[in-house]
Amino acid sequence: MTSSVSTSLGPMAVEKAAAGDETAVLTVMRDAAAWLKESGIKQWSGMLTPKGEEVVHQRVKDGVAYLATLNGEKMGTVTILWEDFQIWDEKGRDGLAGYIHGLAILRKYSEKNVGRVILGWAVDRIKAEKSLVRLDCMAANPRLCRYYEEVGFQYVGQKSFPNGWKSNLYEMKF
């Protein structure tokens, strides 16, 4: 099923990534990861490795990755999960929420609000089935944390991992 959403650049189609779309999803993710790395932000560096490629292939295979197309170009992606034990521990299995991961756009579309449109689409998709949207964000990326708060997510905690990584946890309730 394809959804059409309006952007300032024209209509954008969002649909579940299918077999054969792995390269398009990976291209968007790697474009964002390369920009983050160039900006000195150590987030998503795993997407630049073979392990990152495996993650994308699994997300597409599992039917949880979505692709956004604008003017014929596959330019955005987001993943929606219905459980997330890895980040949210037991709360990630409470059945109350959908989880947004891997929201990315090609850099040439930055500052054009298309990322916000994809986020809104994902929130609406989850809202149709659950009463909460949850996401996590690298705690050491204050600009991105502030962005999620500005669009209506509430900070609800932080998770620390054994490797030193810290992730801020956010929820949006309906």
The pLDDT of residue 48? 85
Kindly state whether residue 163 falls inside one of the protein's structural domains: no
> What number of other Cβ atoms are within 10 A of residue 155's Cβ?
13
**Average confidence (pLDDT) over 98-106:** 97
> What number of other Cβ atoms are within 10 A of residue 63's Cβ?
11
Phi, psi angles (nearest 5°) of residue 137:
-145, 140
Kindly state whether residue 100 falls inside one of the protein's structural domains: yes
Please give the structure tokens belonging to residue 121: 């689409």
Q: What is the CATH number of the domain that holds 79?
A: 3.40.630.30
Distance CA 132, CA 67 (A): 22
Question: For the chain, how many structural domains are there in total?
Answer: 1
Please give the structure tokens belonging to residue 124: 């609406």
If you count them, how many residues does the chain have? 174
The pLDDT of residue 151? 96
Kindly state whether residue 127 falls inside one of the protein's structural domains: yes
pTM, entire model: 0.94
Kindly state whether residue 172 falls inside one of the protein's structural domains: no
Distance CA 168, CA 137 (A): 5
Please give the structure tokens belonging to residue 136: 């996590």
Kindly state whether residue 162 falls inside one of the protein's structural domains: no
**2 with 13: CB under 8 angstroms?**
yes
Please give the structure tokens belonging to residue 156: 């609800």
Kindly state whether residue 128 falls inside one of the protein's structural domains: yes
Beta pairing partners, 172: 133
Give the tens place of pLDDT for each residue, 46-86: 888 899 999 999 999 999 999 999 999 999 999 999 999 99
Please give the structure tokens belonging to residue 159: 């998770």
**Average confidence (pLDDT) over 146-170:** 96
Residue 1 has pLDDT above 80, yes or no: no
**Average confidence (pLDDT) over 146-173:** 96
Residue 22, domain extent? 2-136
Q: What pairing do the DSSP bridges indicate for beta strands 73-81 and 97-105?
A: antiparallel
Distance CA 51, CA 88 (A): 22
Q: What percent of the chain is modeled with pLDDT above 70?
A: 99
Kindly state whether residue 70 falls inside one of the protein's structural domains: yes
Kindly state whether residue 157 falls inside one of the protein's structural domains: no
